Structure 1
Amino acid sequence: MISLESRVYPLPSHARPSRKEAQTVYTLAGKRFFDLLVTSLVTTLVLVWLAPLIALAIVLTSQGPVFVVQLRTGRNGRPFRHLKFRTTAPLFQNGFAKHEPEVTAIGRFLRSTHLDEIPNFFNVLAGDMSIVGPRPHTLQYDAQHWTLPGYRDRHTVRPGITGLVQTRIYQKEISGLIQMPHSFRYDRWYVRRCSLLLDFKICWWAISGRFKAAG
């Protein structure tokens, strides 16, 4: 039911993030309470019936596991197993190997609606992720970019299901920040200003953005 698709690219010890960033009452305790509260509501109202339906659709329409697990970089540079619904057909199928994974019909729908990311809520319950935060990257990607000034600061908080980059940056709606050449700098901006109000705003932007896209 689960496949693991990742190689291990550990961050160098001197690339681990500093703990000086984001040490506030909210980030130390309140943010985790917010995560558990939101996840409990989403699980009770949505996941309890939607997740089984998606899993059944994946099983009935293609061969392979329901979930795909990738190693991603978490808080303080620690790797964790990142869960998503599988959206591609197996690379080896019917005795033939494929050069690239083929996105399934149900997979295209899940990607377009971001429903393939629903299992991220299980990562939140496990304490590996947060509702709001920098999106987690693969270990390989982080190992290649850790030398960028300030890059490791994004790992001082738990990675999020959604974040500032996903909700506003791509829409170019934050004045004064648009000239920054790398999205991780927006993540750093979020880390330094993380608060309950900002997390509420990002959640609202994410939800309203989904409705606008659907409309």
Structure 2
Amino acid sequence: MYERFGKRCFDVSVSLFLLLILLPLYPIISLLLLMSSGTPLLFTQIRTGQFNEPFKIIKFRTMKNNKKKVNNPQDAWYEGVPDDFIFKSAHNSEVTKIGAFLRKSSIDEIPQLFNVLRGDMSLIGPRPEVPEITQWYNEKQLNRLLMKPGLTGWAQVNGRADSCHGHKIEHDLFYIKNCSFKLDLKIFILTIVAIWKGKGAY
């Protein structure tokens, strides 16, 4: 019942609240981005949503080049994305100085609240991957697409960007199986703690 009705109410009410209380940050972030690296202020990218449907994710731009390249694997992942695959790296020369701060503090994710309000995403759920990765999902990995992607999730509060793909899949499938208001509230609180510590975010 919660997953079908209550989750959307939670998404809309909390997203609107966060957008309002964070309102003073928008002009400050915009000015910092303009002064440090110019326009565009926002970064958009196609991600894979629920039931394998693509959507456009929105973030504050953190890289010099707005068009982030996603390299395909040298060998096709015919048996699924390898468990030891890690998409992000702590060292990326394309990330600007202000961008590094925005990533560390997760401020770059704020525009995704509009994705949540639009219904593309949920506050809590599996993080949306790029199609270049999800196209190689095996049958088990495809199960993480049964739920709407989230701004944060069980995998993020258990490692954030430090986790390998296999661990993320296991955490996401655990969440999908055990989704509840109590678990969502726990993840929401743990996310605040993780952001405060700044561990595994880059």
Structure 2 residue runs without a partner (length 5+)? 68-91
- The count of aligned residue pairs is 174
AA partner of residue 130 (structure 1): S
- For residues 157 and 209 of structure 1, what CA distance do their matches in structure 2 show? 23
Deviations 1:138-173 (A, max 9, x none): 0111002x22x4211111111111110110256xxx
State the match for 1:33 in structure 2.
Answer: 9
TM-score, structure 2 normalization: 0.78
Report 1:171-190 matches (<5 A).
181-190=166-175
Please tell me whether residue 56 in structure 1 is matched to residue 31 in structure 2: yes
Report 1:1-215 matches (<5 A).
25-46=1-22, 48-90=23-65, 102-144=94-136, 146-147=137-138, 149-169=139-159, 181-213=166-198
* Alpha-carbon RMSD: 2.5
Instruction: Classify the secondary structure of the residue corresponding to 1:136.
Output: coil
**Change beyond 3 A, Cα 1:91–1:200:** closer
**Runs of 4+ that moved beyond 3 A:** none
Kindly indicate whether the alpha-carbon contact (under 8 Å) linking 2:105 and 2:196 is maintained by their aligned counterparts in 1.
Answer: no
AA partner of residue 168 (structure 1): N
**Change beyond 3 A, Cα 1:190–1:102:** same
AA partner of residue 140 (structure 1): E
- For residues 123 and 201 of structure 1, what CA distance do their matches in structure 2 show? 22
Kindly indicate whether the alpha-carbon contact (under 8 Å) linking 2:124 and 2:149 is maintained by their aligned counterparts in 1.
Answer: yes
Kindly indicate whether the alpha-carbon contact (under 8 Å) linking 1:51 and 1:118 is maintained by their aligned counterparts in 2.
Answer: no
- For residues 165 and 66 of structure 1, what CA distance do their matches in structure 2 show? 28
- For residues 192 and 159 of structure 1, what CA distance do their matches in structure 2 show? 14
- For residues 211 and 85 of structure 1, what CA distance do their matches in structure 2 show? 19
* Deviation, structure 1 residue 181: 4.2
* Deviation, structure 1 residue 213: 4.0
- For residues 198 and 113 of structure 2, what CA distance do their matches in structure 1 show? 22
**Change beyond 3 A, Cα 1:101–1:189:** same
* Deviation, structure 1 residue 126: 0.8
Structure 1 residue runs without a partner (length 5+)? 1-24, 93-99, 171-179
TM-score, structure 1 normalization: 0.74
Kindly indicate whether the alpha-carbon contact (under 8 Å) linking 2:155 and 2:167 is maintained by their aligned counterparts in 1.
Answer: no
Instruction: Classify the secondary structure of the residue corresponding to 2:58.
Output: strand
